[in-house]
């Protein structure tokens, strides 16, 4: 039995498409939740230093309340597992989920398959803020909190605010002007960033690594800062899944069906930008995740945003956690920038999905 999906950019011309029954998609969500847990445990057990899995398991267990495990391992292993790997894995999951959700949201809002979380200048604004932070003299770095993530976050928000102001037409926010303003401002900021990089001397290496994205040196303090933004943003966006479905008709039709389109755009844009800015501020601009994961999810489980959004969050989290473990183990002790891994691994997988599914969809 097939259910006819609400209209979307992908199924307008096709005959009814056979996506899994809704029950199947609920199971998929549950399954991915379990997979996420497994991935997190597995990747915490793996790293450039060999630690037996049983030791990792015991260390993790010992941190659960009510569980009694007598420590038989050296303190350094516990430090590695709990203070170096675990925050990194958690942060990778948060960032992967945030970027994928933001990408899915932008794709739904703009009804454009090429939309990604960096479309309206967030990435370049964050990059500029971060590069400025890198170039500040020593006293700024000794203040007890990270000046670079703070400036990156501020940069991301300011550039989005500028784009928003430029793109407004009266009380409306036309999608076309938004994209154009975003691309233009992004190009301008990008050139300023390039100039600063060239004149950065010995800090150039660190800056470029930041820009390519990395979870290296993640700490719990960073997770604590990123978590509230991502949680709030994710919850807000998930609540608007149904209106987002209706938005896939064009805006006039959606408006006539009772959706306050301008308010919806504002809320969703703000939430998606917030989670992107929070994600990017600490780990740099990781590409590819925000555009490809939502498409892959759509190809497997369909464009209904009530499932697409949560599945994107989970898939993105798992994907980035796995990409990170590859990035830090393949060439240890050197780390491959994670953007390289996401592209190398994600692109072929996506092409494979496209081949398998295109006959169904196109």
Partner 1 sequence: MKLKSLGVIIILAVLSLSIVTGCQPGFQPGTFTDDLGREISIDGIPQRIISLAPGNTEILFDLGLGDRVVGVTEFCNYPEAAIAKPKVGGFSTVDVERVVALEPDLILATSIHEAKVIPTLENVGLTVVALAPETLDGVLDNIILVGKITGRSQEASRLVAGLEERIKAITDKTESLPESQRPRVFYVLWHEPLMTVGSEARIHGLIVKAGGTNIAQDLTGDYPTISLEAVILANPQVIIAGSGHGSGEDSTFQFAKTEPILEDIDARRHDRVYEMDADLPSRPGSRIVDALEFFARFIHPELFPQI
DSSP secondary-structure letter at 6? Answer: P
- CB of 84 vs partner 1, minimal distance in Å: 5
Confirm or reject binding of residue 198 to partner 1 (CB under 8 A).
yes
Interaction residues for partner 1, span 310-329 (CB under 8 A): 328
Residue from 177, 219, 253, 255 that binds partner 1 (CB under 8 A)?
219
Backbone angles phi, psi at 172, to 5 degrees: -105, 165
Confirm or reject binding of residue 335 to partner 1 (CB under 8 A).
yes
The residues, ordered by sequence, that sit 6+ positions from 221 with a Cβ below 8 Å of its Cβ are none
Confirm or reject binding of residue 205 to partner 1 (CB under 8 A).
yes
> Using CB under 8 A, which of the segments 166-174, 189-197, 213-221, 317-325 binds partner 1?
213-221
Residues 338, 349, 1, 112, CA torsion sign: positive
- CB of 79 vs partner 1, minimal distance in Å: 5
**Residue number, 78 or 251, with CB nearest to partner 1:** 78
Confirm or reject binding of residue 217 to partner 1 (CB under 8 A).
yes
3-state helix, strand, coil in the chain (%, to 5): 70, 0, 25
Backbone angles phi, psi at 324, to 5 degrees: -65, -40
**Residue number, 147 or 311, with CB nearest to partner 1:** 147
Confirm or reject binding of residue 139 to partner 1 (CB under 8 A).
yes
- CB of 183 vs partner 1, minimal distance in Å: 28
Helix pair 86-110, 289-301: axis angle to 10 deg: 70
- CB of 202 vs partner 1, minimal distance in Å: 6
Confirm or reject binding of residue 221 to partner 1 (CB under 8 A).
yes
CA distances from 33 to 26, 91, 186, 224, 318 (A): 11, 16, 35, 21, 9
CA distance 205 to 285: 16
Residue from 41, 84, 173, 175 that binds partner 1 (CB under 8 A)?
84
Residues 53, 59, 61, 64, CA torsion sign: negative
Binding site for partner 1 (CB under 8 A): 47-49, 76-77, 79-80, 83-85, 133-134, 138-139, 141-142, 146, 148, 198-199, 201-203, 205-206, 209, 216-217, 219, 221, 328, 332-335
């Amino acid at each position: 039995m097939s259910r006819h999906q609400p209209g979307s950019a992908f199924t307008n011309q096709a005959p009814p498409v056979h996506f899994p029954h809704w029950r199947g998609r609920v199971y998929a969500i549950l399954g991915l939740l379990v997979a996420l847990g497994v991935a997190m445990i597995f990747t915490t057990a793996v790293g450039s230093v060999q630690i037996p899995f049983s030791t990792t398991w015991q260390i993790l267990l010992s941190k659960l309340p009510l569980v009694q495990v007598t420590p038989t391992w050296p303190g350094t292993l516990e430090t590695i597992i709990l203070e170096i790997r675990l925050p990194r894995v958690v942060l990778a999951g948060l960032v992967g989920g945030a970027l994928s959700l933001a990408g899915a949201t932008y794709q739904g809002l703009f009804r454009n398959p090429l939309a990604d979380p960096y479309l309206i200048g967030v990435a370049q604004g964050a990059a500029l803020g971060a590069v400025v932070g890198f170039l500040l003299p020593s006293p700024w770095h000794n203040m007890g909190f990270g000046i670079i993530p703070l400036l990156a976050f501020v940069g991301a928000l300011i550039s989005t605010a500028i784009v928003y102001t430029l793109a407004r037409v009266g009380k409306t926010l036309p999608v076309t002007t938004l994209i154009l303003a975003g691309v233009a401002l992004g190009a301008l900021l990008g050139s300023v960033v390039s100039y600063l990089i060239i004149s950065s001397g010995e800090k150039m290496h660190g800056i470029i690594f930041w820009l390519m994205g990395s979870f290296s040196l993640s700490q719990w303090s960073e997770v604590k800062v990123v978590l509230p933004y991502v949680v709030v943003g994710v919850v807000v966006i998930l609540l608007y899944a149904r209106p987002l479905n209706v938005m896939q008709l064009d805006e006039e039709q959606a408006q006539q069906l009772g959706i306050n389109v301008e308010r919806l755009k504002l809320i969703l844009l703000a939430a998606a930008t917030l989670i992107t800015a929070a994600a990017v501020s600490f780990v740099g601009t990781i590409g590819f995740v925000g555009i490809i994961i939502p498409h892959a999810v759509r190809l497997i489980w369909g464009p209904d945003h009530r499932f697409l959004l949560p599945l994107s969050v989970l898939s993105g989290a798992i994907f980035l956690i796995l990409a990170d473990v590859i990035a830090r183990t393949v060439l240890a002790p050197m780390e491959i920038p994670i953007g390289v891994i996401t592209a190398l691994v994600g692109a072929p997988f996506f092409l494979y999905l496209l081949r398998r599914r295109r006959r169904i969809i196109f």
